[in-house]
Chain A
């Protein structure tokens, strides 16, 4: 086993059923998008893809490494604000701004991992809350750059160079490409040495350390990757909604929602966050559309109930519970 750490693409597609089914699933989605004509349905689909990518990026730190961040809004906000501010103040293409924002968020996240990596469970979660609140205060106070609580409106100048489009369908395809990118990255991470280190770290940090896993470095890598992709999701959000404010993208509430989509779907699997988004995003959008503004907040009440039910009765999340059932059904008893 000379090259156990390396992955051959062709092997993945040929032998790995999860990989090949995923490829098929993405293709089916791509074809399906072409048939959606109703703009509201397309809007729902784009939001599903957006929350899918945000939750998938949270999953890399929260799910695989067990770093329960309640502050991912900070990274999403860095991405959203960086690309938008560079576009507004310097006319820089949001594509470039996205990369810059993602690198910046990746560096900030790595630093956070360095500073707070030693903290476990509750303490790490508390530290990330303080972190997103700091980011929120900065967003509100640095008015010259961010316009503070007023929010930042991104001027609509459609075109590929500006990452803005008249038709929603282009957003849907870009969203699908981004989500698929993070999804396949998660699958690859799962199958790589890093993935095994991460699981070892999550299951028992001391044991992993004693077997020679450099846990503090692995944590920094995990949250760095996680922050990088969360920021890309942030830019996508800004380019689609064309309005950002500290109380959405830089907020604790937003951070909690990213985490809960993953928890309900299933942490530590590539599919979990996406299943979570496919379940929760349409639910919230349909509720909001049919009940109107009069009952705003109702969808979050339902999120909260689902969260408690999942956490108490299916603590592994929906995807992991289904996987365990599937394994049982085929062989009659549990394997692996």
Chain B
């Protein structure tokens, strides 16, 4: 039973990781907490839904469309709303992304109503039995997808010019600027990449969860917790934090009660913010 809970928790954590990586990348480079992150996830899930219901496109294929599409949306929002707030007061930064979130969530409500939609794939409720342990097929796929795309992110950040520019800007933006890096472009691109990752996450999640205008807020709250747990701005920290939250959630859902399980990680979240605001694994 315990093994089953750990496995389910890790799979769930993998899903959270894909959402958290984008959030932490954006924070690390732009120093902005994207309060609209969940709404980009929601948008991506709707795109995956429409691609499925109009063109019968499997979500695992449509992620090749949803990811780049959300990347472009991210570039647009990054250019128009986010870039002008860099270096502004935290009130400006917080409420600019809150505004984006309000527009997207309620725009979806106006366009697509509050109905719950789902992507009824043939494998949606399929399970794989590994001895006594059962693994949901779409959960496994989203976990593998999360690993694949975060594994692709590391060499990108490490070896490409843009990746190096992103890391340089995250470390010391003034020095990066003096070295000839166009940091304004780095900001917009980083925001686009973070949103593109959420786009991939949304396609991977579409077969598992119902889709409705406020679906993003639940996931993004978990992502905040995971990201703060791992240290805001740290990509490996975000992955680790997500796995911890996933396991915590399945355990507290099993041993306490499903209704209260989210209360546990909000409480953990506040405690971490108070006692280790730099994250659990920070060296400093």
Contact = CB atoms under 8 A, between A and B. Distances in A.
A43 interface: no
B110 A295 contact: yes
A120 B91 CA distance: 11
A116 B274 contact: yes
A279 to B, nearest CB: 16
Given A121-B90, A297-B109, A315-B92, A304 B100 contact: yes
B95 A118 contact: no
Contacts of B57: none
Contacts of A298: 106, 110
Q: Contact residue range for chain B? A: 35 or more
Contacts of A129: 221, 224
B274 A115 contact: yes
Given A130-B270, A252-B217, A315-B92, A297 B110 contact: yes
A133 B102 contact: no
A311 interface: yes
A131 B274 CA distance: 13
Interface stretch (A18-26, A136-144, A160-168, A237-245): A136-144
Name A's interface SS: helix
Contacts of B260: 137, 141
B267 A134 contact: yes
A179 to B, nearest CB: 23
A30 B93 CA distance: 38
Interface string A251-267: 01000100110010001
Interface string B249-274: 00000000001101100110110011
A126 interface: yes
B122 interface: no
A127 B270 contact: yes
Interface string B86-117: 00111111111011111101110110000000
Given A133-B221, A315-B89, A119 B81 contact: no
Q: Contact residue range for chain A? A: 35 or more
Interface string B50-90: 00000000000000000000000000000001001100111
Interface in A302-320: 303-305, 307-308, 311-312, 315
B109 A312 contact: no
A130 to B, nearest CB: 4
A77 interface: no
A305 B99 contact: yes
Q: Which of B91, B228, B274 has the most CB of A within 10 A?
A: B91
Interface of B: 33, 81, 84-85, 88-96, 98-103, 105-107, 109-110, 213, 217, 221, 224-225, 228, 259-260, 262-263, 266-267, 269-270, 273-274, 277
5 contacts: A116-B270, A126-B33, A256-B98, A297-B107, A298-B110
Interface of A: 66, 68, 70, 115-116, 118-123, 125-127, 129-131, 133-134, 137-138, 140-141, 252, 256, 259-260, 263, 267, 295-298, 300-301, 303-305, 307-308, 311-312, 315
Given A115-B274, A137-B260, A311-B85, 9 more contacts: A123-B228, A125-B94, A126-B224, A130-B269, A137-B259, A260-B95, A260-B102, A305-B103, A308-B99
